């Protein structure tokens, strides 16, 4: 049994859950007209409303005790100060240094990492300006019109999300595209519409060994050479974002077009590094720097605010409250902002690759739940897809609603309708609808008693379904930086309380390992026989169908 589930703070929360479990949010709001004021927090332009939770001052105190018991304050400082907290890989975790302002100093093993960070940022700025102003051109002398980022996971999800999120700030003359899947459909559908003379490829890979990325990069290389008639074109049409300078050079990318980052930047925390080059190319380096500044503002808040007034800590502890004491099944990210439609996908890797673990830092199996499934969809689309389950399903799905106060697109009533739907959903989830209320509605609609009896059970909403709401003035680069850093730190806080390492990802290795041994069997004339009957049959079914 783990120390955690037998610790004083954990046992106190278990007791509290038993006591509070029957209370409803409806009654909490009725009993206290100041509830919002007590359970909301603003950091610069970011407002967090966490009052629509099954949560009292006592809950907040006991959860905060859990954070103190986990020595969260020490762990926060360890991360910012370059301790090797990624223990299984013996690495520091310093994505926060990437967004520290000029003049900062961050020591890793006694050496300041800031000069290297500043050098690469300067190289990114120069490259962005030259590509965007047409100084840097392709093999046939034409300016670039399209940038294709070839990468996967943390080398794609962040930049892809950010380019869509900051679309209003994007260049109209330089389009961003993202290729990640090994499925040839992904790269082919891009190359079919692109002009090789004006296409720039960014090969984004921390290791420069990821099968999907390297395979796609070679396909792009062949395309450029075939279309432009010379392998000399590679040097002009490719850049690399990587820690593996030897591999980038072997691929044929000149050193000046290689943008370095370091092993103390985790893939899913790398958007702030050279991996952010596609963003900087799309929105300009000044806007990319604003994104960094927003993240740094959240860093300062995270490092300095008392846990009771600390946005990442509050979100993390509320998540733990439902994960470990309510057995909530999943957590949905519901951005009421079309520009944030890829934010749920980005947060899936950030949170589930960080905390989807079952062995703790002491190498013991955990006896408590860790990260739940994270999913989501932009509102109001989700309302026509899965909200039935969120409102009337048998399992509790906790939710984060995110919305801008003002839209980039002032069109008629659209934004007011979007916000009305956002707020209505969180109100409905909290309130629910009793049988009496549903009956009264049906009576008003003039239904017969028999019709009411037949329909009534389906019109009742249990309510008491928790939600957090994050509002921000407008989705600009600075705000996006704040939001991403908020969720990074939320993820880290949960890992500290759960005593797990958020920064390794051994769980992705096994599948890759089996895939590489299975690949030759799919190209073989001989039927597969080395696996279980299912895997053998699947391989052989394909072999038999292909040969037809
Ligand atoms: O999903 C496994 C993983 O290692 C991620 O952590 C990483 O973001 C992704 O693959 C891509 O890795 P690389 O940037 O080294 O190609």
Q: What are the tens digits of pLDDT across the range 37-51?
A: 999 999 999 999 999
Among this protein's residues, is 353 annotated catalytic? Answer: yes
Reported confidence tier of residue 1, pLDDT bands at 50, 70, 90 = confident
Residue range 199-257, pLDDT digits in tens: 999 999 999 999 999 999 999 999 999 999 999 999 999 999 999 999 999 999 999 99
Distance (angstroms) between ligand 1 centre and the Cα of 83 equals 22
For residue 548, pLDDT over 80 is answered with: no
Average pLDDT over residues 521-525: 92
Average pLDDT over residues 169-191: 97
Q: Is the CB of 207 under 6 A from ligand 1?
A: yes
Residue range 354-400, pLDDT digits in tens: 999 999 999 999 999 999 999 999 999 999 999 999 999 999 999 99
Reported confidence tier of residue 332, pLDDT bands at 50, 70, 90 = very high
**Which residues have C-beta within 8 Å of that of residue 75, sequence separation ≥ 6?**
85, 492, 496
In the set 353, 377, 488, 521, the catalytic residue is 353
**pLDDT given at position 167:** 97
Among this protein's residues, is 384 annotated catalytic? Answer: yes
Best mutation site among 153, 202, 266, 346 for ligand 1 pocket (most ligand atoms within 8 Å of CB) = 153
Q: Is the CB of 284 under 6 A from ligand 1?
A: no
Best mutation site among 267, 278, 346 for ligand 1 pocket (most ligand atoms within 8 Å of CB) = 267
Distance (angstroms) between ligand 1 centre and the Cα of 199 equals 24
Residue range 79-134, pLDDT digits in tens: 999 999 999 999 999 999 999 999 999 999 999 999 999 999 999 999 999 999 99
Q: Nearest 5°: CA angle at 93, between 87 and 94? A: 160
For residue 2, pLDDT over 90 is answered with: no
How far apart CA 300 and CA 284 sit, in angstroms, is 25
Q: Is the CB of 426 under 6 A from ligand 1?
A: no
Per-residue b or e along 255-277, where b marks 16 or more CB atoms closer than 10 Å to that residue's CB: eebbbbbbebbbbbbbbbbbbbb
DSSP character at residue 144? P
**pLDDT given at position 138:** 98
SS3 389: helix
Write down the mean pLDDT value for the chain: 97
Distance (angstroms) between ligand 1 centre and the Cα of 347 equals 15
- pLDDT > 90 fraction of the chain, expressed in percent and rounded: 98
SS3 269: helix
**pLDDT given at position 22:** 81
Q: Is the CB of 158 under 6 A from ligand 1?
A: no
> Parallel, antiparallel, or unpaired: how do β-strands 373-376 and 330-335 relate?
parallel
Reported confidence tier of residue 323, pLDDT bands at 50, 70, 90 = very high
Q: CA nearest 373: which of 395, 337, 397, 392?
A: 397
Q: Is the CB of 153 under 6 A from ligand 1?
A: yes
Q: Is the CB of 270 under 6 A from ligand 1?
A: no
How far apart CA 237 and CA 231 sit, in angstroms, is 10
For residue 547, pLDDT over 90 is answered with: no
Reported confidence tier of residue 21, pLDDT bands at 50, 70, 90 = confident
Q: Is the CB of 268 under 6 A from ligand 1?
A: yes
How far apart CA 181 and CA 385 sit, in angstroms, is 26
**pLDDT given at position 24:** 96
DSSP character at residue 348? I
Residue 108's H or E segment, with its range, is: strand 107-108
In the set 68, 384, 414, 541, the catalytic residue is 384
Q: Is the CB of 357 under 6 A from ligand 1?
A: no
Atom of ligand 1 minimally distant from the CA of 151: 16
Kindly report the number of other CB atoms within 10 A of residue 455's CB atom.
14
């Amino acid at each position: 049994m783990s120390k955690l589930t037998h610790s004083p703070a954990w046992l106190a929360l278990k007791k509290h859950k038993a006591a509070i479990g029957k209370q409803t949010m409806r009654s909490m709001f009725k009993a206290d007209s100041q509830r919002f004021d007590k359970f909301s927090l603003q950091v610069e332009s970011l407002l967090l409303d966490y009052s629509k939770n099954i949560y009292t001052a006592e809950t907040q105190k006991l959860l905060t005790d859990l954070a103190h018991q986990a020595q969260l304050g020490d762990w926060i400082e360890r991360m910012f100060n370059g301790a090797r907290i990624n223990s299984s890989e013996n690495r520091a975790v310093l994505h926060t240094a990437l967004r520290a302002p000029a003049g900062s100093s961050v020591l890793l093993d006694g050496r300041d990492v800031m000069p290297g960070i500043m050098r690469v940022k300067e190289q990114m700025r120069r490259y962005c300006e030259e590509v965007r102003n047409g100084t840097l051109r392709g093999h046939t002398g034409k300016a670039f019109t399209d940038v294709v980022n070839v990468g996967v996971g943390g080398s794609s999800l962040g930049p892809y999300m950010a380019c869509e999120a900051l679309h209003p700030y994007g260049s109209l003359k330089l389009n961003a595209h993202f290729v990640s899947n090994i499925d040839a459909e992904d790269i082919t559908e891009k190359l079919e519409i692109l002009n090789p003379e004006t296409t720039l490829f960014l090969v984004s890979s921390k290791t420069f060994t990821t099968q999907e990325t390297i395979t796609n990069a070679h396909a792009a290389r062949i395309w450029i050479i075939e279309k432009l008639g010379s392998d000399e074109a590679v040097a002009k049409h490719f850049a690399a974002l990587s820690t593996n300078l030897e591999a980038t050079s072997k691929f044929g990318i000149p050193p000046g077009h290689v943008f370095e980052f370091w092993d103390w930047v985790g893939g899913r925390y790398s958007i702030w590094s050279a991996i952010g080059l596609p963003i900087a190319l799309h929105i300009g380096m000044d806007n990319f720097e604003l994104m960094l500044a927003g993240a740094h503002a959240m860093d300062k808040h995270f490092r300095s605010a008392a846990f009771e007034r600390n946005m990442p800590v509050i979100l993390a502890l509320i998540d733990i409250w439902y994960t470990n004491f309510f057995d909530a099944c999943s957590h949905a990210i519901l951005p009421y902002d079309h520009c944030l439609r890829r934010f749920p996908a980005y947060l899936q890797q950030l949170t589930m690759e960080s905390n989807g673990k079952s062995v703790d830092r002491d190498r013991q199996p955990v006896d408590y739940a860790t990260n739940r499934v994270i999913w989501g969809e932009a509102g109001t689309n989700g309302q026509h897809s899965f909200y039935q389950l969120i409102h009337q399903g048998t399992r509790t799905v906790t939710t984060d609603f995110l919305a801008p106060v003002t839209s980039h697109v002032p069109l008629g009533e659209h934004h007011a309708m979007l916000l009305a739907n956002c707020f209505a959903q969180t109100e409905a989830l909290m309130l629910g609808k009793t049988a009496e209320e549903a009956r009264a509605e049906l009576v008003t609609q003039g239904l017969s008693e028999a019709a009411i009896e037949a329909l009534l059970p389906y019109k009742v909403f249990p309510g008491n379904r928790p939600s957090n709401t994050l509002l921000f003035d407008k989705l600009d680069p600075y705000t996006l930086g704040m939001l991403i850093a908020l969720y990074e730190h939320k993820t880290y806080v949960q890992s500290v309380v759960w005593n797990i390492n958020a920064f390794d990802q051994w769980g992705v290795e096994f599948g890759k390992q089996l895939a590489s041994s299975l690949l030759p069997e799919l190209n073989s004339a001989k039927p597969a026989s080395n696996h279980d009957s299912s895997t053998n049959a699947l391989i052989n079914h394909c072999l038999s169908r292909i040969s037809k």
